[in-house]
Amino acid sequence: MLCTFALLGSSATLERSNKKKAQPNKEFSMSSQVSSARSVRPPASQDSIAVDVRNHIGHLTLNRPEGLNAIDLDMVRTLRQQLDRWADDPSVHAVVLRGAGGKAFCAGGDIRSLYESHQNGQDLHHTFFAEEYELDLAIHRYRKPVLALMDGLVLGGGMGLVQGADLRVVTERSRLGMPEAAIGYFPDVGGSYFLSRLPGELGTWLGVTGSQIGAADAMY
């Protein structure tokens, strides 16, 4: 399945991810992570990644709502650096990933900057993909619980970010997909791994059509 937790109206059902790694007890109150509880300290950044800690939970918010939170190289590096800091911080017990703006968790990579890099003979696109994949792998191997709030669009690189999370949350507004096929690209960010493990031919269909699915199908 592509998610492990659904927030649909006032009801919710929970299923653990099958993520394989040795970790301490990961039970913690969902109320402080999922709700918009008042922060005990203000966000540390108003840039493209907002960093915040409250109730011993580290919050990383993709903060480019005007671009549907598409990630660029600076965002990838900020996410990785902050995760590395929190990995050794005993005051941070878990991490929550989310997107700002209400329309998207993450619509994928910033294709425009990658295209311009290629057109200008630069190698930004090579560096971006290498570091993006390293970030995705780091989330898979992270020693502390990671929860991904997949509200709105979760496409391409956004799917890569959440696959390593221990808990993946969808809502009634969630739309998941791998749209790379529409631009002649293959499903990257580990798509050949997680799509091939979906029931039936759902993964093949998502990979070759670029179609999007909602919360109910993501729970399948």
User: Strand 153-155 and strand 104-106: pairing?
Assistant: parallel
Residues labelled as active-site residues: 109, 157, 180, 188
**Is the Cβ–Cβ distance between 55 and 81 less than 8 Å?**
no
Structure tokens at 10: 């006032």
Q: How many Cβ atoms from other residues are within 10 Å of residue 202's Cβ?
A: 16
Cβ neighbours of 30 (radius 10 Å):
15
> Edge to edge, what strands does the sheet with 5-8 contain?
11-14, 5-8, 167-171, 146-150, 94-99, 57-62, 49-54
Element of type H or E holding 105:
strand 104-106
Q: Are strands 153-155 and 5-8 parallel, antiparallel or unpaired?
A: unpaired
CA–CA gap between residue 143 and residue 197 (Å, rounded): 24
